[in-house]
Structure 1
Amino acid sequence: MSMTKIEKKIVGYSVKRENEEAKPAVEEELKIQHMHEDVNRPEMLVGATYKIKTPLSDHALYITINDIILNPGTEYEQRRPFEIFINSKNMDHFQWVVALTRVISAVFRKGGDVTFLVEELKAVFDPKGGYFKSGGKFMPSLVAEIGDAIETHLTTIGLLQPEELSDIQKQILQEKLDEYNQKKGKKTEAGEFPESAQLCMKCYTKAMILMDGCMTCLNCGNSKCG
């Protein structure tokens, strides 16, 4: 066994285990780029634009969310939201819209879990009252609909997982709708709910009907009977 003479003062030491592979793993981890506020904006970003048309205004809002691709071409490739812009011909909301886009963009660039923005924005209620979108979905405010657009985008790029009903649940709800229409002597088109349906406070869709003595949502399956 060879020996090495130590000629300098020992200032520290560590024990190396046999077949140790931790260091390469750490070095590999350090190469992975994560989203943080110091990430420089590339010359080109990919994104999507969502149109919002509400009964509150004659002009539509256009929400553009641009994404940055981290670790492109590797197994760690990830698409993250980087910035948001909101444009409209309606100048009534200009001041707070600019402020909102700057705050949301700052949260995007900060990194970490940004999905909390969806619930925060969708929980904003307009004191003057909300409105129904086509299809019967209720929006408590314009801010909530912006949150709904962000939710759609985060779901599209894989940061949020959609809450979908199973095929069996969809079949049961369809049977309840058919039974309800048969009793009332009315018909509804595919994707529509009875006009007399009430608002579901879980999915904010006007799709709750009384079936078997229990209020049940035909859209998300929420039931007051548990």
Structure 2
Amino acid sequence: MPIKIEKKIVSYAIKKPEDETAKQPEPAEKAPAEAHGEFRREGNVVHMTETLERPDELIGSTYKVKPPVADHAMYITINDIILNQGTEQEVRRPFEIFINSKNLDHYQWIVALTRVISAVFRKGGDVTFLVEELQAVFDPRGGYWKPGGKFMPSLIAEIGEVIERHLTKIGMIQPTDLDEHQKKLIEQKRAEYEAAHGQKDAFAEDGSSNSNDAGFPAGAQLCTKCNTAAVVMMDGCLTCLSCGDSKCG
């Protein structure tokens, strides 16, 4: 609406959004780090801010990755920052990632990948989406099998699996382990399958049946849920002996 000014204008100032923000009262109680603007919390999600500087010392874990398609192993180090240490609001969040390898063929994309992931970590929030994005990367030359019978579609996907293990370790991702009832059921089904279909090796010293390197029956198919070669036909239904996934529900 137009406003009629009755007095003479002698000065003026531009109103900025920051002025309204400064006028808002601060909450009565805040955690030490949050009070200094280092991060803000929305429910269970922690958003870090640009004022959060890297401490001189960080805690972390190093994971060894040795894909069969590479000549040298890769060592993935993920460092974490502890916010509100020593208080009830103490949380541990990933802060940076480093990948070291003797193979210089991957140097460029490793540096680019680690810088991008570290930037996402420092931004805060829900960083668990990185796991799904990395594990969805497929190598056009084909993937490989890890020791234990799990299929990896690419080296990037295995880096995503390492990040998933680390986020599960620090509590950002809830573990999806089977409960005791499911484990007993899988062991029972596995014993029934091996008893019915297992062939004894006459030249084996212990007389054990044939199986793959992971201990699952030989000829087991690949599970689309856990990427493990452990799917067998049980009672007319394809059942995974690793994660319990079944086509019959």
What TM bracket, shorter-length normalisation? Answer: 0.7 to 0.9
Mapped pair 1:166 → 2:179: yes
Cα gap change, 1:190 to 1:166, in 2 (>3 Å): farther
Cα gap change, 1:179 to 1:173, in 2 (>3 Å): same
Mapped pair 1:103 → 2:104: no
Describe the SS at the equivalent of 1:84: strand
One-letter identity of the residue aligned with 2:226: C
1:82 is matched with which residue? 95
TM-score, normalised relative to structure 2: 0.77
Contact map agreement 2:147 2:213 (CA 8 A) in 1:
no
Contact map agreement 1:37 1:111 (CA 8 A) in 2:
no
Alignment of 1:107-146 (within 5 A): 107-146=120-159
1:16 is matched with which residue? none
- Larger CA deviation: 30-39 vs 184-193: 184-193
Count, aligned residues = 203
- Larger CA deviation: 181-190 vs 129-138: 181-190
Distance in 2, matches of 1:190 and 1:70, equals 43
Describe the SS at the equivalent of 2:29: helix
Cα gap change, 1:162 to 1:211, in 2 (>3 Å): same
Describe the SS at the equivalent of 2:30: helix
Distance in 2, matches of 1:89 and 1:55, equals 15
Q: What is the Cα-based RMSD across aligned positions, in Å?
A: 1.8
Distance in 2, matches of 1:138 and 1:27, equals 52
Distance in 2, matches of 1:38 and 1:125, equals 37
Contact map agreement 2:59 2:80 (CA 8 A) in 1:
yes
Contact map agreement 1:60 1:88 (CA 8 A) in 2:
yes
2:53 is matched with which residue? 40
Describe the SS at the equivalent of 1:92: helix
Structure 1 unpaired stretches of 5+: 1-22
Mapped pair 1:214 → 2:241: no
Cα offset for 1:190?
11
One-letter identity of the residue aligned with 1:97: I
Structure 2 unpaired stretches of 5+: 1-24, 40-47, 200-208
Cα offset for 1:146?
0.1
2:62 is matched with which residue? 49
Cα offset for 1:32?
5.0
2:196 is matched with which residue? 183
1:28 is matched with which residue? 29
Sequence identity of aligned pairs in percent?
64
Distance in 1, matches of 2:88 and 2:212, equals 44
One-letter identity of the residue aligned with 1:29: K
